[in-house]
Amino acid sequence: MNTTDERLDLRALYERYGHSVFRRCRYFLRTDDDARDALHEVFLKVTQSYGEFRGQASPLTWLTRIATHHCLNVLRGRKAGWHERYAAAVTVGAQHAEPGQAGVERAELVHRLLSRLGREEQEAAVYYFVDEMSQEEAARACDCSLPTLRKRLRRFIEVARKELKREDATLVFGEAPI
Amino acid sequence: MSTHDGISNFMLERYAVGELTGAELAAVEAALAADPMLRERADAMRKARDQFLADEPYAAFRVLHEQRKATPTRKRFGFWLPTGLALAAAATLALLTALPDEGERIKGDGVGLTVALVSDTTPKPLASGAVVHAGDRLQLAYDAGPYAYIALIGIDGSGAMTVYYPEAGEVMALRPGDARAAFPFSLTLDATPGQETMTAVFAEQPLPLRRIQEAVRKNEVLPGVSTVKVVLEKEQ
């Protein structure tokens, strides 16, 4: 690939997908500065593995995956106390959410539970519950089979229910939806 | 928690970036025509996208992107040892003689992969699951067993895949000479945290690297192919 082609491709990629990547990074990392930093890291990864990118039926799925992995790694790398900072940030965010914004609340709950989950469950939960991908789409994004995805989602639901129950012992749950 | 019975956020986003075709596109357009709230969501998405490009234009992004690309600490790929082939060969020999036949050599179906941390003294073999750090230098050796063709694929903590070997071309490399040898380079790890997975792929035929990458990504078993994987935990 020559420099001109690379520049053209990078511009097209950025202008088409930059916002999606930024939004994903902002969801995880919470501040514009951190999201901007992550955006650059993600696009560096993209340019380094451009050959792989060109074969993707859904570049958005591929970019979302790279951004998700990167952000989960950043959070993991911050180590000490990041989940406490998360919980505080999420609590503030939830207070400002409009009533009835089920999607926002769901996204915040997933966000809050991330630190209690393994890497694979984190990824599956974000794709399915936040992005609202279908199970087939989420399985493709996770590079796993449908049964494996469902297993990871069930694990997430189990953790989520325990967390909710801890806050309100009177809650009664029906059969798990997955 | 999620009904998944309408147009998902992700589907709407794919629509916004122009990825949808055929039935998917028709379904989203029909839903937009019928649902004013969905139209509002799509409009909000478009406005946010326009605002993002106004706030973060490509020209400014490009400048920072180039600066980061040039930052040496992010350089991933390793190098031939400084004085070239002779030293590289010596390092290979040292590695192979330093490493035990069993133990840290991760074995597959008659094949093997050894990853060693290079220091000033003897290379230290790493077991799968070992903790490594940014800046660590690794040397890798393989046992190709009966197979003639090899490739080495890495996936870093962000999920990005790199073909480390062969260093050029579109197909797997014919292994040079002995079945047991070291790869002709060392790797210096960058700062991306998370799991660093090295997969050595051995085949009877020179398969296209694109096919090998796809198989590695999907954990797919290809006929006539044997793989060995070492996973390292990279900490910052």
Spatial distance between the Cα atoms of B171 and B207, rounded to a whole number of angstroms: 6
Query: In whole angstroms, how far apart are CA A174 and each of A49, A125, A158?
Result: 45, 19, 12
* Ramachandran region, residue A149 (left: φ > 0; alpha: ψ -120 to 50; beta: rest): alpha
Considering only B3-17, B105-119, B122-136, which range has the smallest mean pLDDT?
B105-119
- The proportion of chain B whose per-residue pLDDT surpasses 90, expressed as a percent, equals 23
Collapsed DSSP state (helix, strand, coil) of residue A132: coil
Question: What was the pLDDT predicted at B76?
Answer: 37
List the single residue in B1, B8, B76 with the smallest CB-CB distance to A133: B8
**Among B88, B235, B96, B227, which Cα is nearest to B104's?**
B96
List the single residue in B18, B161, B194 with the smallest CB-CB distance to A76: B194
Taking only the tens place, the pLDDT of each residue in A118-171 is 778 888 888 888 888 888 888 988 888 888 998 888 888 888 788 777 766 776
Residue identified by tokens 């292994």 is B175
List the single residue in B76, B159, B210 with the smallest CB-CB distance to A69: B159
Complex ipTM above 0.90? no
The answer to whether the CB atoms of B210 and A51 lie below 8 A apart is yes
**Which residues of chain B from 44 to 63 reach within 8 Å of chain A, CB to CB?**
48-49, 52-53, 56, 58, 61-62
Whether B65 and chain A come into contact, CB under 8 Å, resolves to: yes
Taking only the tens place, the pLDDT of each residue in B31-57 is 999 999 899 989 999 999 999 999 999
The answer to whether the CB atoms of B194 and A14 lie below 8 A apart is no
**Which residues of chain B from 72 to 131 reach within 8 Å of chain A, CB to CB?**
74, 76
The answer to whether the CB atoms of B193 and A36 lie below 8 A apart is no
Q: Is the pLDDT of residue B79 over 50?
A: no
Residue of B nearest to A70 (CA): B158
Q: What value does the mean pLDDT of chain A take?
A: 75
Spatial distance between the Cα atoms of B38 and B6, rounded to a whole number of angstroms: 10
Question: What was the pLDDT predicted at A176?
Answer: 62
Q: What is the mean pLDDT of residues A82-98?
A: 41
Taking only the tens place, the pLDDT of each residue in B175-194 is 877 788 888 777 878 777 88
Residues of A in Cβ contact (< 8 Å) with B164: none
The answer to whether the CB atoms of A69 and B158 lie below 8 A apart is yes
Which is more confidently placed, A54 or B219?
Answer: B219
Q: What value does the mean pLDDT of chain B take?
A: 78
Residue of B nearest to A51 (CA): B210
Taking only the tens place, the pLDDT of each residue in B133-162 is 887 888 888 888 888 899 999 988 888 888
Residue B233 makes CB contacts below 8 A (sequence gap 6+) with B129, B130, B131, B132, B194, B195, B196
